[in-house]
Amino acid sequence: MDHAAARPYRSSRAAAPLSGHVAVPGDKSISHRALMFGALAIGETRITGLLTGEDVLRTAGAMRALGAEVTRDPDGIWRVAGRGIGGLTEPADVLDMGNSGTAARLLCGILATHPLFAVMTGDASLRSRPMRRVTEPLAATGARFATRAGGRLPLAIEGAADALPLDYRVPVPSAQVKSAVLLAGLNAPGITRVEEPEATRDHSENMLRHFGATVTVETAGHGRIITLVGQPELRAADVVVPGDPSSAAFPMVAALLVPGSRLTIPAVGLNPLRTGLFTTLLEMGADIVVQNHRLEGGEPVGDLVASHGALRAVDVPPERAPSMIDEYPILAVAAALANGTTRMRGLKELRVKESDRLAATAALLSVNGVKVEIEGDDLIVHGTGGAPAGGGTVVTHMDHRIAMAALVLGLVTQAPVTADDAGFIETSFPDFIGLMNGVGASLAAV
């Protein structure tokens, strides 16, 4: 990490209950896909509520570089004039995906079946993350990939001129790998088929249908088989992006933990394949109520009201991991204050996130006086049932979710908690610190 550019922040015990409304940013997964599918559609797509974090802006830049027209109106509505399936043009320069693994992996799928040459890179964190999990299946389309050792960025792609459809079984549950294969199938003739061992978030399937593609889903045991009819004509379709449930997790858990708190988080996406954290917190006895449940753009949405109360330890089953893979750091913070020992099972996928998020989550708690162990792919947190000691400096490893989890923990510890770099929070949750301080938190630059 470049310490000259680091932005450390300190979180101190909340002096009063948190109260009010926190409007969380638009869902990141849906924002990436809205820009990509808009660029692949015929006509102009209008997107309301797009997340304007750094990750999504990188996707907007990449789609512009590939020939789509992407603009933002003064009222915040984004417009994408698409090129149609197969209509993207060769970029004149390297595509820099910043910190976004989702953008990089999904774009690999799109580029694999377009007959053009492109080079993709990212920041230091993204350049350390494995891309082989998408490049290996995508190579069967006829695309050629060249990467650094270990399948890492920078990565060069020569898309297939006569792409072949894929029939692929995803070895580890991953919405990114599934989506990359489906996106490759858009510009290949015939049927693309993906089998996943456990159901993962299905935003790609929902949005492909929204734009006019023929997608079918069959249940197979715990998992699903998804088929896509290739070379559809995608038609421009307006998208309303709901609030990101992964972002809502942080103010929600803060409200559950800070005595006397009650926060309302409006218009949050409640896709059942994304709500594993809500399920787990309710099992722990959390006071979370959903109001005004509705459907927007094929996605369920509701207003969340979270209130403080005692939590009890739970055993989180491994099959729940895909529906809450980004929420384990903040769940671990909730578990640190629960009564009893919480075990989160089957977290192998956390080792290849922005950081080794499993080790980073354990270290976040340990340095602040919470007893924690890693056994295999399980995280075990021994709850204090009260206020942990705190006082530690958390190494965030350029991971926005570790940084936000650390700052929430500091609201309820005896001594303040420091995040060594909170700058990366902007990639997914712009103005997180301002919004939290606005409802009563005390987060300050060091």
The CATH number given to whatever domain includes residue 190 is 3.65.10.10
Does one domain contain both 183 and 203?
Answer: yes
pLDDT band at 428 (very low <50, low <70, confident <90, very high): confident
Q: Judge whether 320 lies within some domain.
A: yes
Domain end point (choices 166, 200, 229): 229
Q: How many domains in the chain?
A: 2
**How many CB atoms lie under 10 A from the CB of residue 66?**
23
Does one domain contain both 329 and 318?
Answer: yes
Q: Is 135:151 a contact under the CB 8 Å cutoff? A: yes
For residue 189, the enclosing domain spans: 28-229
For residue 419, give the nearest of 446, 443, 388, 393 by alpha carbon. Answer: 393
pLDDT band at 355 (very low <50, low <70, confident <90, very high): low
pLDDT band at 1 (very low <50, low <70, confident <90, very high): very low
**pLDDT tens track for 165-209:** 999 999 988 999 999 999 999 999 999 999 999 888 899 999 999
Summarize the confidence of residues 143-155 as an average pLDDT: 96
For residue 178, give the nearest of 82, 109, 235, 249 by alpha carbon. Answer: 109
Q: Judge whether 220 lies within some domain.
A: yes
Does one domain contain both 135 and 36?
Answer: yes
Task: State residue 297's pLDDT score.
Answer: 67
Does one domain contain both 116 and 168?
Answer: yes
The single residue of 326, 399, 420, 421 carrying the catalytic annotation is 326
Q: Judge whether 3 lies within some domain.
A: no
Does one domain contain both 78 and 197?
Answer: yes
| Coarse DSSP helix, strand, coil percentages of the chain, rounded to the nearest 5 percent | 35, 30, 40
Summarize the confidence of residues 292-298 as an average pLDDT: 83
Does one domain contain both 219 and 303?
Answer: no
Whole-angstrom Cα distance, residue 89 to residue 39?
Answer: 11
Does one domain contain both 204 and 319?
Answer: no
Q: In what order do the strands lie in the sheet with 417-419?
A: 393-394, 417-419, 9-12, 442-445
Whole-angstrom Cα distance, residue 14 to residue 260?
Answer: 11
Q: Which residue has the tokens 């990114």?
A: 176
For residue 4, what are its two tokens?
């000259």
For residue 265, give the nearest of 439, 106, 74 by alpha carbon. Answer: 439
Does one domain contain both 47 and 87?
Answer: yes
Q: Judge whether 90 lies within some domain.
A: yes
Does one domain contain both 261 and 133?
Answer: no
Q: Judge whether 86 lies within some domain.
A: yes
Whole-angstrom Cα distance, residue 217 to residue 227?
Answer: 7
pTM to 2 decimal places: 0.82
Q: Judge whether 306 lies within some domain.
A: yes
**pLDDT tens track for 53-72:** 899 999 999 999 999 999 99
Does one domain contain both 220 and 255?
Answer: no
Concerning whether 326 is annotated as a catalytic residue, the answer is yes
For residue 361, give the nearest of 391, 415, 325 by alpha carbon. Answer: 325
Count the helices and strands in the chain (H runs, E runs).
Answer: 13, 24
Is residue 3 predicted with pLDDT exceeding 60?
A: no
Is residue 88 predicted with pLDDT exceeding 80?
A: yes
Give 66's contacts (C-beta < 8 A, 6+ positions apart): 39, 83, 88, 89, 91, 118
Does one domain contain both 222 and 259?
Answer: no
Domain end point (choices 201, 229, 257): 229
Q: Judge whether 235 lies within some domain.
A: no
Considering just the CA atoms, what is the radius of gyration of the chain in Å?
A: 21
Domain end point (choices 229, 259, 287): 229
Does one domain contain both 37 and 148?
Answer: yes
Q: Judge whether 384 lies within some domain.
A: yes
